[in-house]
């Protein structure tokens, strides 16, 4: 069992399911392509196994120790009448705000539909490469991960338990070779994913019940893709999470705020410290003692004296504009009890934590008054949107290590700033889970954030350099052929608005390539003779429209 709050889960869940007859789904899958083995769940939570009530974010991936316990999206906003709408998730002891599946035309999600969509689709780049190498495609030879991919119009799409899915709206992204907006794998179309392994799933907040926060649903549909790379470099210690959040309600939300909640148990849960690196919009967890788990008798999930440091960095947030990154709105925390800085129990209290306020509505404060003096970040000092903002290696900066706080079970929330979220619009958010390798230098005293910042730099640089895979939109008037190709490919356009035209090639790890391109008018020819055989991304952009296509050179 995890801790006191989780000991309540089984009894609370039994009461919850009996009262509503809406049993949550424990469907999950693991992203384990690199050095991390991390679970994702169909209710939008992740990094734990709710059936066993144990952490499942193992690092190194064959270790019994885990760098996380659970994490989920928290979001809130106000409708035109000033009413609070909110969605959040923790440990399911209070129910569920999120349910697997898309919203229907009335912006709701029934239990039957949620049951059918309680699935995570998992694809490997090697699946795609094997598929592209086939001379012909039929239902028997096509890998199931590609055949059943939930792309719009796919007649082979299946959900939970193999149930057929009818998909009439844009869902999982795919390479649309003929531009008709329908996913047709037997014509050679395939999933558009990032990384060497990807998980795709969809969940919404206006499902059968909305009982975690007990607040008004927002009417949001979230398309999620988790992915990672295996390269033998620092990127092997990174997992990405891309969210496309659609406001399917009739409300335009004001003072809307996106947040990521993280119960960041680093091995043994009760000896942790947290901190914040504003330059990377990153929450950090490091050990408060040099021997993880010593206070608990070194349980199997502890790291001992060689401990990693873990960070959650927000790579994309609402408010970003190109290379200009907006600051995080808030970074705050709470602890595992019923105090004024403890577990939230109402929609108002969840909303407070999204806005750098404790459970009473009072603001967080910077209580740092000197090294060795405990600081709980509330009750005195100047008001602040961010807590524990200093590097513990500098004794003049505000960190839990410098304050000699009592190590314990920490939960933190990173948020965006407030923004307006119009009805029908989409917001994109991306984050990365990053971890250093286990070391004796990752605990208080003597710890520095330098190493975890290097991992964050790696995650940000890789993300920026890899072409974004957006939800599918039909781009008629652009043909890129042949595919597969040998010596050249043709990029042909018709009926497009004029604009500054660019054609860019990338390899599968996002590096920009120098490919000679010739031709005028509506036809360009790219010379592939300088490229080795493999898979490449071709990005066409004319200032008004963009299309990204994966091509294979044989």
Q: Which of 443, 465, 487 is the last residue of a domain?
A: 465
Whether residues 436 and 500 share a domain: the answer is no
pTM: 0.83
Among candidate residues 158, 159, 187, the one with its CA nearest the CA of residue 174: 187
Whether residues 228 and 365 share a domain: the answer is yes
Residue 14 pLDDT level (bands cut at 50, 70, 90)? very low
List Cα–Cα distances, 212 to 89, 265, 328, in angstroms: 6, 21, 25
Taking residue 267's Cβ as centre, other Cβ atoms within 10 Å add up to 29
Whether residues 516 and 417 share a domain: the answer is no
More confident residue, 467 or 206: 206
* Sheet with 502-507: strands ordered across: 512-513, 502-507, 534-541, 546-553
Is there a domain that residue 226 lies in?
A: yes
Q: Per residue, what are the HEC states of 365-428?
A: ECCCCCCCCCCCCCCCCCECCECCCCCCCCCCCCCHHHHCCCCECEEEEEECCCEEECCCCEEE
Cis geometry, peptide bond prior to residue 429 (ω within 30 degrees of 0) = no
Whether residues 91 and 227 share a domain: the answer is yes
Measured between its terminal Cα atoms, the distance across the chain in Å is 53
Whether residues 523 and 430 share a domain: the answer is no
Q: Residue 97 corresponds to which tokens in the numbers above?
A: 């705000």
- Say if residue 279 is exposed, middle or buried (CB neighbours under 10 Å; 0-12, 13-18, 19+): exposed
List Cα–Cα distances, 314 to 32, 241, 281, 433, 444, in angstroms: 21, 10, 6, 9, 25
Range of the domain at 455: 46-58+65-96+211-465
Domain of residue 536, CATH code: 2.60.40.10
Whether residues 355 and 456 share a domain: the answer is yes
Q: What is the pLDDT of residue 546?
A: 66
Q: What is the pLDDT of residue 498?
A: 54
Report the percentage of the chain scoring pLDDT > 70: 92
Q: How many domains is the chain built from?
A: 2
Whether residues 300 and 354 share a domain: the answer is yes
Q: Per residue in 497-549, pLDDT tens?
A: 555 778 888 876 667 889 999 987 788 899 999 998 888 888 887 766 667 77
Please state, in angstroms and rounded to a whole number, the distance separating the CA atoms of residues 36 and 66.
Answer: 9
More confident residue, 504 or 349: 349
């Amino acid at each position: 069992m995890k801790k006191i709050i989780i000991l309540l889960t089984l009894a609370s869940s039994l009461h919850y399911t009996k009262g509503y007859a809406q049993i949550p789904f424990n469907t999950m899958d693991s992203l384990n392509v690199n050095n991390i083995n991390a679970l994702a769940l169909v209710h939008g939570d992740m990094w734990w196994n709710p059936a066993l009530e144990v952490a499942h974010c193992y690092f190194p991936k064959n270790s019994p120790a885990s760098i996380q316990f659970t994490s989920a999206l928290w979001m809130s906003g106000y409708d035109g009448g000033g009413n609070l709408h909110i969605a959040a998730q923790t440990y399911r002891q209070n129910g569920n705000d999120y349910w697997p599946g898309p919203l229907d035309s009335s912006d709701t999600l029934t239990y039957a539909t949620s049951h059918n969509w309680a699935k995570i689709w998992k694809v490997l780049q090697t699946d795609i490469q094997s598929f592209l190498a086939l001379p012909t495609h039929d239902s028997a030879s096509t890998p199931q991960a590609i055949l059943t991919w939930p792309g719009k119009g796919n007649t082979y799409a299946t959900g939970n338990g193999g149930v057929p899915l009818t998909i009439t709206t844009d869902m999982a992204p795919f390479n649309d070779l003929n531009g008709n907006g329908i996913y047709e794998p037997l014509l050679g179309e395939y999933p558009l994913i990032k990384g060497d392994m990807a998980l795709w799933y969809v969940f919404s907040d206006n499902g059968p019940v909305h009982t975690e926060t007990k607040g008004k649903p927002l009417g949001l549909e979230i398309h999620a893709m988790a992915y990672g790379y295996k390269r033998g470099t620092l990127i092997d210690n990174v997992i990405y999470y891309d969210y496309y959040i659609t406001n399917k309600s009739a409300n335009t939300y004001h003072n809307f705020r996106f947040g990521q909640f993280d119960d960041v148990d680093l091995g043994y849960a009760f000896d942790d410290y947290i901190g914040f690196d504003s330059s990377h919009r990153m929450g950090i967890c490091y050990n408060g003692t040099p021997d993880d788990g010593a206070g608990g008798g070194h349980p199997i999930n502890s790291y001992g004296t060689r401990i990693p440091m873990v960070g959650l960095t927000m790579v994309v947030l609402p408010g970003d504009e190109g290379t200009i990154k907006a600051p995080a709105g808030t970074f705050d925390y709470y602890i595992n009890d019923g105090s004024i800085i403890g577990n939230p129990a109402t929609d108002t209290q969840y909303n407070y934590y999204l806005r750098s306020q404790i459970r009473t509505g009072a603001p967080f404060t910077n209580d740092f008054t000197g090294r060795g003096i405990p600081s709980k970040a509330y009750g005195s000092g100047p008001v602040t949107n961010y807590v524990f903002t200093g590097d513990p290696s500098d004794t003049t900066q505000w960190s839990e290590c410098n304050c000699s706080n009592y190590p314990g079970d920490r939960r933190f929330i990173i948020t965006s700033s407030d923004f307006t979220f119009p009805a029908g619009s989409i917001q994109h958010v991306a984050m990365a889970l990053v971890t250093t390798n286990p070391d004796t230098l990752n605990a208080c005293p003597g710890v520095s954030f330098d190493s975890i910042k290097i991992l964050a730099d790696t995650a940000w640089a890789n993300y920026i350099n890899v072409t974004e895979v957006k939800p599918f939109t039909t781009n008629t008037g652009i043909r890129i052929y042949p595919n597969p190709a040998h010596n050249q490919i043709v990029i042909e356009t018709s009926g497009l608005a004029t604009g500054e035209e660019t054609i860019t090639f990338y390899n599968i790890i996002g590096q920009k390539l120098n490919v000679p391109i010739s031709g005028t008018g509506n036809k360009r020819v790219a010379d592939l003779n300088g490229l080795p055989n493999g898979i490449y991304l071709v990005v066409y952009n004319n200032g008004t429209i963009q299309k990204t296509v994966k091509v294979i050179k044989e």
